Amino acid sequence: MQSVEHVHLLERLSVHERSFQQQSNELSSLAAEQLGRVITVSGSQVTVQFTSVSPDGDIDVTVGSLVGVRNSESLAIGTLSDIALERIQTDDSGTSAVGRIDLLGEIVSEKSGARHFQNGIRAYPKIGNAIVRIRDEDLNIIYGFSHPHSVKIGVLQQNAAVAATVNVDEMVRKHFAIVGSTGSGKSTGTALVLRKAMEVRPDLRVLLIDAHNEYSECFEDRAVLLGPDSLKLPFWLFNFDEIVQIIFGTRGRADVETALLAELIPLAKTEYAGTRQTLRSSNSKITGQSDAGRFTVDTPAPYLFENVIALAENRMGKLENGDLAISYQRLLMRINAARKNPRYGFIFDDGAEPSDTMIDVLCEVLRVKDDERPMAIVQLAAFPSETMEVIVSALFRMAFEFGLWSNALSPLLIVCEEAHNYANADRSIGFGPAREGLSRIAKEGRKYGVFLGLVTQRPHLLDPTLVSQCSTVFAMRLGHEDDQKIVRAAVSDAAGRLLAFLPSLGTREALVIGAGVPTVTRLRFDELPPDFIPRSHAVWGRDLDAVEKIDDQLIGSIVGRWRGAASASKPLVTSPPLAEPKPEAGEMMLWTAPSYRE
C-alpha cells in the first residue's frame, strides 16, 4: 500500500517538475522576446521605452509593427505609431528609444486553455509591463479563419507567411468601401474581393456599375455584360424625373411643359392598360376608383408615346390660349427629338406596340434566376454620356424596390465604381434622383437584402454620409489630404492614427478597417492571374500614331454616324456617305403635323 502511494507521489512530483520546467522555458522565451517596458498609459495609447536592440545596435522594430504588452490577464495588441531617440539621465549620458503604441485589442485565455482575440482592451497595461514581439502563433490567432465565410484575400504586411482574411458576410451585409488613388491597385483589389465573395457566397447576386468598361474579363463566365446592344431599358420603366432628364436634358426646363407631361403620362398608361384589358371595369366598381387614379406618373407600367402625342394634340385643338398651345408644341418637339435619336435606341426602340418586359429586365439586371452567372456588369462607357446618371438612377431604384417588394427574396450586392460621380459631396452637382437612390440603399438597403460596395479614387468628392454607412473600408494609397480626412472621419481614433501610412502604401497594399476584419489589418492583396486583371476598354489604348489612311470617304462615314445615319456603337466603314434625303412637307415639325406619331 505504501509503495503504491509512493509511486503516486513520485508521479505528482514529476508532473510539477515538468510544469515548472515548462514555465521556466516560457519565462526564458519571454525574456528573450522582451523589447522594452511601459512607462506611461493613456486611454488608447501606451508609451514605451525600448531596451532590446539587434546585433548591429539598432532597435528591431519600426512604425507599423505589431507588438504586444504582456500583463497578468492577457496580451494587449497594438501598433507602433511613432518612435524616437531620447536622451536619458545616466552617468554616460546615453540615449534610449521611446515610442507610442496604439492599442487595438487583446488575446485572452479561456478556462479551457484556448486563446482568442477580441477587439478593445479589458485589462489595461500597467507601468513596467513588458513589451514583447508578436509571434506567428499570435498572428494566426488574431487574423486566422475565425468564421466559416472568411476568405483569404492576401497576406499580412507584417509577415507574408500569415494569411490576411476578410469575413464576407460582415463585409457585405454592413456595406463596404474601397478607396485609392490611380495606380494604387484599386481596380485589381475590387476584382479580387468580388471574386472571393462570389466563391464563398455563390447565392449572392452582384450588380457592378463599371464606369470605364474595365471588368469585362475579370470574372470568366460568371458574369454577363450589359451595354446598349444587350440592355433594353424601355422608356416607361423610368420614373418621371428620369424620363424628363432624357427628354429635356440639362437644358433649361420649362415648368409648364414639364407639368403638361406629368398630366399626360398617367392618362397614357391608363389608356394602354384599358386597351389591353388589364383593367377590369369591375375593379372600378369594387374599389370606387376610376381608371385614371390607378396609375401615377412614376408607376412602372407600359404606355405609348403615341397616346401621349394624341392626347396632347387633342387638347391643343380645343385651346384658345395661344401660349399654352405653344408649350404643347415645344413639348412634342422635344419628345420627337428624343425618340428619333439613334443613340437612345435602348430606351425608345420598342416598336409601335411595346410589351410589358419588366420581368425580363429585372431578371437580366438582377440575375435572380441565373445561378451560373450571378453577376451583371453594366458597361456605362458604352452608353451616351448624357444618359449615364439616368441609367444608374433607374438601376439603383429598381434594385432597392425589388428588395422592398420581394421581402428580400435574393441578396443583392451593388458595387458602384466612381461612386463620387453619382453622389457628389457638392449637392448641386449631378443628377438628384441618382444621389437619392444611392443614399436610400446605403441607409435602408440592409433591411431588404440590398447591399452596397462603393469604389472611388477621390473619397473627398463623395457624399461623406455614404462613407460613414460603410462598416468595412479598404483604404489604399491616398496622397490627397482631403481624401485622408474623409477616411479618417469614418473610422475609430486608434485606427485613424494608422491612416498616416496611406500616402506611402505600396501598390496592392491596403489598410482594412471595420467589421469585415478582426482588427485593423495592413495587407497586400493576392495577385490576380494576368488574364483577370482589369483593363479599361473605354480609353485610348493605342500608340499616338494614326493607324489608318484618312480620306474623304472615311470622314464621310464619320459624318454619317455623327448625324445619326448609323448607330454610334457600330464600327467605322469606308463606304461613301449616303446622300441626305430632303424632308417632305408632311414631315415639317408643326404641332398640327402627324409626324409626331411614329
* 423 backbone dihedrals φ, ψ, rounded to 5°: -145, 70
* 302 backbone dihedrals φ, ψ, rounded to 5°: -65, 150
Q: Taking the chain, what is the end-to-end CA distance rounded to the nearest angstrom?
A: 112
Q: Are 284 and 291 spatial neighbours (Cβ–Cβ below 8 Å)?
A: yes
87 DSSP β-pair partners: 95
Ordered by start, the domain boundaries in the chain are 31-134, 150-232+357-529, 240-349+551-596
Q: Are 116 and 61 spatial neighbours (Cβ–Cβ below 8 Å)?
A: no
Q: Considering the domain delimited by 150-232+357-529, tell me its CATH architecture.
A: 3-Layer(aba) Sandwich (3.40)
* 82 backbone dihedrals φ, ψ, rounded to 5°: -160, 160
Q: Are 33 and 101 spatial neighbours (Cβ–Cβ below 8 Å)?
A: no
Q: Are 201 and 187 spatial neighbours (Cβ–Cβ below 8 Å)?
A: no
Q: Are 128 and 38 spatial neighbours (Cβ–Cβ below 8 Å)?
A: yes
Q: Which residue has the cell 507601468?
A: 127
- Give the pairing of strands 45-50 and 34-41: antiparallel
Tell me the average pLDDT of the chain.
Answer: 82
Interatomic CA distance for residues 587 and 596, integer angstroms: 9
Interatomic CA distance for residues 269 and 220, integer angstroms: 41
Task: Find the helix packing angle between 432-444 and 388-405, rounded to 10°.
Answer: 30
pLDDT of residue 35: 86
List of E strands, 297-438: 375-379, 412-417
Interatomic CA distance for residues 247 and 331, integer angstroms: 9
Q: What angle do CA 358, 360, 366 make, to 5 degrees?
A: 95
Q: How many CB atoms lie within 10 A of CB 430?
A: 18
- In order along its 598 residues, the chain shows pLDDT tens digits of 455 555 454 455 454 454 444 444 444 444 447 889 999 998 888 999 988 555 555 667 888 888 999 988 889 999 888 888 876 665 555 567 899 999 989 999 888 878 889 888 888 899 999 999 888 889 888 888 767 889 999 999 888 889 999 999 999 999 999 999 999 999 999 999 999 999 999 999 999 999 999 999 999 889 999 999 899 999 999 999 999 999 988 766 678 899 999 999 999 999 888 877 544 444 444 334 444 457 899 999 999 999 999 999 888 877 766 778 888 989 999 999 999 888 898 998 765 566 888 999 999 999 999 889 999 999 999 899 899 999 999 999 999 999 999 998 999 999 999 999 999 999 889 899 999 999 999 999 999 999 999 999 999 999 999 999 999 999 999 988 898 888 888 776 566 677 888 898 999 999 999 999 988 899 999 999 999 999 876 655 555 565 567 888 888 888 887 776 444 444 444 334 444 444 443 333 333 334 445 4
Alpha-carbon dihedral sign for residues 482, 484, 487, 492 = negative
Largest interatomic CA distance in the chain: 127
pTM for the whole structure: 0.82
300 DSSP β-pair partners: none
Interatomic CA distance for residues 301 and 487, integer angstroms: 42
> Minimal CA–CA distance to 77: which of 161, 29, 150, 141?
141
Q: What angle do CA 522, 528, 534 make, to 5 degrees?
A: 105
pLDDT tens readout for residues 516-550: 998 889 999 999 999 999 987 665 555 556 556 78
The 3-state DSSP class for residue 29 equals: helix
- Reading phi first (left if > 0) and then psi (alpha if -120 to 50, else beta), residue 418 is in left
pLDDT of residue 591: 36
